[in-house]
Amino acid sequence: MKQTEVDMVIRVGPMDIGVFFIPGDNDTFGDFTYLKTQIRVDSRLEGAALVDTLLHEIFHAIWAMGQLKSKAQKEERAVAVMATYMTQVMRDNPHLMKWITKNLK
Ligand SMILES: [Zn+2]
């Protein structure tokens, strides 16, 4: 996937993550890079598949920030971290909520 200008910024925990909608390579529809604090989503996606892919990558960011990667995690802790961060993401990013609603119509 080729880099372009940032399309959206989403705050997850302490991080501002740049979201880029760019044509994919058919291999993956999206990815999250911790080092660059960026998410890339295949711009050919639409509607529910587009929203699903962005949420998927946001969950990867939450997973990394919630330190869920480091060791085998119990389901309850994983779900608790995801729910807490998702609450924060929705609270701090009203533009994301509007974007989701628009794309799910
Ligand atoms: Zn994934």
pLDDT of 70 reads 67
Which is higher by pLDDT, 67 or 78?
Answer: 78
For residue 7, how far is its CA from the centre of ligand 1 (angstroms)? 20
CA gap 34, 52 in Å, rounded: 20
> Regarding predicted confidence, which is higher, 72 or 3?
72
Q: Which CATH architecture has domain 8-93?
A: 2-Layer Sandwich (3.30)
The domain spans of the chain are 8-93
Percent of the chain with pLDDT over 70: 93
- Any residues with CB less than 8 A from the CB of 5 and at least 6 apart, and which? 20
Give the Cβ contact number of residue 49 at 10 Å: 13
Residue 26 has pLDDT above 90, yes or no: no
Dist. CA 56 → ligand 1 center (Å):
6
Residue 4 pLDDT more than 90?
Answer: no
Give the global pTM: 0.86
- Identify the pLDDT of residue 25: 80
Q: In this predicted model, what pLDDT tens digit does every residue of 42-76 receive, in sequence order? A: 999 999 999 999 999 999 999 888 877 766 778 88
Distance between CA 11 and CA 36 in Å, rounded? Answer: 14
Centre of ligand 1 from the C-alpha of residue 102, in Å? 23
Does 22 score more than 90 pLDDT?
A: yes
Distance CA 78, CA 19 (A): 24
CA of 80 to the centre of ligand 1 (A): 19
